Structure 1
Amino acid sequence: MGGQYSNGLMIEQLQDGFLLLINNKNLFDFLWKKFDKDFGHGRFMTDVSGNSPDYRIHLQGLDTHVLEQDLKFIPADFLNQYV
């Protein structure tokens, strides 16, 4: 799993999980809350944006099927409103 998910979200699969590359602060804030509070993944999440031009969330230790299931609840078309 990986690649462009929506206009503002790119997903990269890593050896230890996933890196969400997000192109704006509004979408980052929405996804941070969604994955932390709604999906309960706070313990897997790290903000690794640092000095990068985009916003980044590292989901460490999250299985592919879990991320795929989560994304069913936030369709790409819905996320495009944040771009």
Structure 2
Amino acid sequence: MNYRVVIPVDVNADTIKVADVVTIGGRELRVCDMIALPGRAKRLVFESGETFTMLPSTLMSVDRVQPNTALRRPYRQLKGR
């Protein structure tokens, strides 16, 4: 099974990732592309086609989807096999 969890993460321009979900003005926008700008800034391109310029000093909370590794069973070798 493919279990995934959504976790809130505080990010800046250096740590944001494609597929992060940003809430701006009460709207949830998923990042589909990023363009590096001078001065370590990034232009975020959302699935809706809208853009947002994120400066290195901008700190925001996003939702990030990650695999839930806590639900995976650890590999154990069976005795005698």
Q: Identify, as 1 or 2, the structure richer in strand.
A: 2
Q: TM-score range by the shorter chain?
A: under 0.3
Compute the TM-score of the two structures, normalised by the length of structure 1.
0.24
Compute the TM-score of the two structures, normalised by the length of structure 2.
0.25
Instruction: Report which of the two structures shows the higher radius of gyration computed on alpha carbons.
Output: 2
Q: Identify, as 1 or 2, the structure richer in helix.
A: 1
